[in-house]
Amino acid sequence: MDTGDFDADFVADFDRLLAWRRDVRRFLEDPLPDGLLDDLLARAELAPSVGNSQPWRWVDVRSRAPRRAVRASFERANAEALAGYRGDRAAHYASLKLAGLDEAPVQLAVFSAADPEQGHGLGRATMPETLDYSVVTAVSTLWLAARARGVGVGWISILEPGAVAAALDVPDDWRLVAYLCIGYPQRADTTPELERVRWQARTDPEPRRLVR
């Protein structure tokens, strides 16, 4: 029986995987091999969820019309975000490539079901937001599984959730958590792009840790 023990080499490889997991913004247009997306979603389904509710809902966005609607939503939200910056910061923001919507072969919208029957409400009576948190764990699991296979993931957060939900015609009680671009990256780097272009460097973790 597999006891789940992992040797030092595996631990080192896993730590390396964490360092190489990056938010990809530039993709090759090459399609993923048949079945690979299914494999990645199968790995994501292993993620923990509150009450074993598995509240994540995956929408594989393939059709042109919803893709165009999502792209239009991004353009509106991006313009609004740009208007919130001034001076050098505005110019810096304008120079960033913030979407892979034009190149990534796979676009995956990830929703959270607001009150899934599965799980029977366990663990979320006082913190219903744990459903959304559970979806994020599934996204993170997908991200690591993808990177381990040489596939990049970019999380597009500059969107209008209502417009995306309407474009994809999903149930009213589904809440958008993530819109992911998935494909092979043009380049791989352990340094986050926003750090590389000097938007924001990583900081010392100590101030974010409290002891009580």
- What pLDDT score does 85 carry? 93
**CA distance linking residue 147 with residue 129, whole number of Å:** 27
Report domain extents, the chain.
26-198
Query: Are residues 50 and 133 in contact, defined by beta-carbon separation less than 8 angstroms?
Result: yes
Spell 38-71 as b/e; 16+ CB within 10 A means b: eebbebbeebebbbebbbbbebebeeeebeebbe
- What pLDDT score does 1 carry? 57
Architecture per CATH, 26-198? 3-Layer(aba) Sandwich (3.40)
Query: Are residues 108 and 60 in contact, defined by beta-carbon separation less than 8 angstroms?
Result: yes
* Longest pairwise C-alpha distance within the chain: 61
What tokens appear for 36 in the block? 């690979």
pLDDT in tens, the chain (212 residues): 566 789 999 999 999 999 889 999 999 999 999 999 999 999 999 999 999 999 999 999 999 999 999 999 999 999 999 999 999 999 989 888 878 899 999 999 999 999 999 999 999 999 999 999 999 999 999 999 999 999 999 999 999 999 999 999 999 999 999 999 999 999 877 788 888 888 888 888 888 888 89
What pairs with residue 152 in β-bridges? 183
